[in-house]
């Protein structure tokens, strides 16, 4: 029997041990685990190319984990600078803060207001090898929580999701953080696969799963001033729940049409705009993403056309593909919401017609504002589906608003306003949502608020099949005067709305 050739054991920086022939000392080979090129040495293994530095001075050197996405050569801070998300001075200030207080570079940048967390998520989702998931689709087994202590999960923004054999899948807000990956592997003795998750979702999941059920604390919200402003009494839990909403339910069929169009080689932004432009949930979400991205615009994005142009066809398609992976409402709930999707489109068309008479340059913004009037209903239906969808929506608005306030300490216009603020939508759209029932209450007079308020009334008149005459607009005399629209012109707008079914 032939004698085995002499060999030595070398250890890669990722922790992988390998046995190589003694004759291979000084030669280059690849680590079987992370793929790093190494030079075999008696005392271990030396990387052929110097790995990025680690520690605070390097911006955490959050390169990709060995068992995750390919490692970028630049540090996370430099990557963010090169892609225009932050400036060099902002990174410097964040690193100085890190030296004094510790913490992750990306979280410090966010806390200092230099980096938008949604923009970071979108940026990371586009990196090679990075796979994003929605934590709402996962139920974390409690036995996994023993693998990563709560303090570590919070400080490193990481959550165990699944374990299969020796492979541990974790959710991370920054899956290119190789230092954290290596610490988890050392802590657990498992190989780690990192998945991109939203920062807020990880924080919420850590809070949800690690705390003992009997010690569960009542959520009271961070912005108590706003909670009190939105309704009498104590801060409303529903308001806090709305601030955690990451998406709304798309209108039935919208996402199916998006998928069908994605397979069409002739697809264009114009086709995509027509496909999703009448869905208030999708439009609000695309505006949220577009306003979170660092495009350097002096004004916030307030139309679907501008949002899609900024995101680009591929970017918008990817955003919508991820949107389609989240949990939607049950068919029963979606069917109950369907009248509100229809009313939103009607309000949007009415707003565009009114704006065409009042200010022809503002028709696209008016259409968007009219379309989003109902998102507060969708928000309430998402966080309190059984109770909210049990309301009688045929009653006059004044009665419905009172019932909403009594049940949730917040009305649907206020809920929509709160969500629009949280999602970074332009103030003009947020004010239109909040004050369309009572435009005189708006702190700052706005043509757009008045337009959408008149649009909502016009849409209701259309649905009610009232006689198309001047007397139908008697309750809107003040609005018509403010917008310099004669009553007979309002009648013609109603007639035009009727033609466009």
Which residue did the predictor score with more confidence, 323 or 124? Answer: 124
Q: What's the pLDDT score for residue 8?
A: 66
Q: Read off the pLDDT of residues 463-479 as tens digits, 9 standing for 90 and up.
A: 887 778 888 888 888 88
Burial 168-203 (b: 16+ CB within 10 A, else e): bbbbbbbbbbbbbbbbbbeebebbbbbbbbbbbbbe
The mean per-residue pLDDT over the stretch 124-142 comes to 79
The mean per-residue pLDDT over the stretch 273-278 comes to 89
The mean per-residue pLDDT over the stretch 446-457 comes to 91
- All structural domains of the chain, each given as residue ranges with its CATH number in brackets, are 7-47 (no CATH), 56-210 (3.30.300.160), 254-499 (1.10.3210.10)
What phi and psi values does residue 19 have, to the nearest 5 degrees?
A: -100, 125
The mean per-residue pLDDT over the stretch 187-205 comes to 88
**HEC string for 126-166:** CCCCCCECCHHHCCCCHHHHHCCCHHHHHHHCEEEEEEECC
Q: Is the pLDDT of residue 363 over 70?
A: yes
Q: Is the pLDDT of residue 233 over 50?
A: no
d(CA 104, CA 122): 18
Q: Is the pLDDT of residue 163 over 50?
A: yes
129 — alpha (psi -120 to 50), left (phi > 0) or beta?
Answer: left
Q: Chain-wide mean pLDDT for the chain?
A: 77
Q: Read off the pLDDT of residues 47-102 as tens digits, 9 standing for 90 and up.
A: 544 333 333 333 444 433 334 443 333 468 888 888 888 888 888 888 888 887 77
327: pLDDT confidence band, cut at 50, 70 and 90?
A: very low
d(CA 395, CA 39): 77
Q: What's the pLDDT score for residue 389?
A: 85
What is the gyration radius of the CA atoms in the chain, in angstroms? 27
The mean per-residue pLDDT over the stretch 159-180 comes to 87
Q: What's the pLDDT score for residue 21?
A: 64
CB within 8 Å of 444: residues ≥ 6 apart: 431
């Amino acid at each position: 029997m032939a004698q085995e050739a002499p060999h030595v054991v070398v250890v890669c920086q990722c922790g992988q041990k390998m046995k190589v022939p003694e004759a291979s000392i000084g030669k280059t080979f690849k680590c079987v685990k992370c793929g790093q090129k190494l030079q075999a040495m008696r005392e271990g293994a030396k990387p052929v190319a110097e790995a990025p530095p680690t520690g605070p001075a390097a911006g955490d050197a959050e390169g990709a984990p060995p068992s995750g996405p390919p490692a970028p050569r630049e540090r996370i801070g430099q990557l963010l600078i090169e892609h225009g998300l932050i400036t060099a001075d902002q990174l410097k200030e964040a690193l100085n803060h890190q030296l004094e207080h510790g913490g992750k570079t990306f979280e410090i940048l966010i806390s200092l207001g230099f980096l938008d967390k949604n923009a970071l998520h979108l940026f990371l989702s586009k990196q090679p090898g990075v796979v994003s998931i929605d934590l709402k689709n996962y139920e974390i087994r409690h036995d996994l929580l023993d693998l990563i202590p709560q303090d570590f999960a919070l400080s490193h923004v990481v959550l165990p999701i699944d374990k299969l054999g020796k492979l541990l899948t974790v959710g991370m807000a920054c899956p290119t953080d190789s230092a954290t990956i290596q610490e988890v592997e050392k802590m657990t003795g498992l190989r780690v696969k990192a998945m991109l998750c939203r920062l807020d979702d990880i924080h919420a999941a850590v809070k949800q799963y690690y705390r003992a059920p009997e010690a569960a604390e009542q959520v009271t919200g961070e912005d108590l001033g706003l909670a009190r402003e939105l309704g009498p009494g104590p801060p409303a839990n529903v308001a806090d729940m709305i601030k955690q909403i990451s998406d709304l339910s798309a209108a039935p069929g919208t996402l199916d049409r998006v998928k069908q169009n994605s397979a069409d080689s002739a697809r264009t932004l114009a086709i995509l705009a027509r496909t999703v432009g009448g869905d208030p949930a999708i439009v609000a979400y695309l505006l949220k993403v577009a306003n979170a991205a660092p495009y350097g615009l002096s004004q916030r994005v307030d139309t679907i056309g501008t949002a899609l142009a900024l995101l680009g066809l591929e970017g918008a398609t990817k955003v919508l593909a991820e949107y389609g992976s989240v949990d939607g409402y049950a068919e029963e709930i979606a069917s109950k919401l369907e009248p509100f999707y229809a009313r939103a489109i009607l309000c949007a068309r009415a707003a565009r017609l009114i704006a065409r008479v009042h200010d022809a340059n503002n028709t696209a913004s008016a259409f968007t504002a009219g379309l989003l009037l109902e998102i507060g209903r969708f928000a309430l239906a998402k966080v309190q589906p059984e109770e909210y969808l049990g309301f009688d929506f045929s009653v006059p608005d004044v009665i419905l608003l009172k019932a909403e306030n009594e049940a949730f300490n917040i009305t649907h216009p206020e809920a929509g306003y709160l969500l629009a603020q949280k999602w970074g939508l332009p103030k003009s759209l947020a004010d239109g949502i909040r004050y369309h029932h009572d435009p005189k209450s708006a702190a700052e007079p706005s043509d757009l608020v008045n337009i959408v308020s008149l649009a909502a009334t016009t849409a209701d008149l259309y649905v009610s099949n009232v006689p198309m005459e001047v007397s139908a607009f008697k309750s809107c005399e003040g609005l018509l005067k403010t917008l310099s629209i004669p009553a007979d012109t309002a009648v013609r707008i109603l007639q035009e709305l009727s033609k466009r079914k």
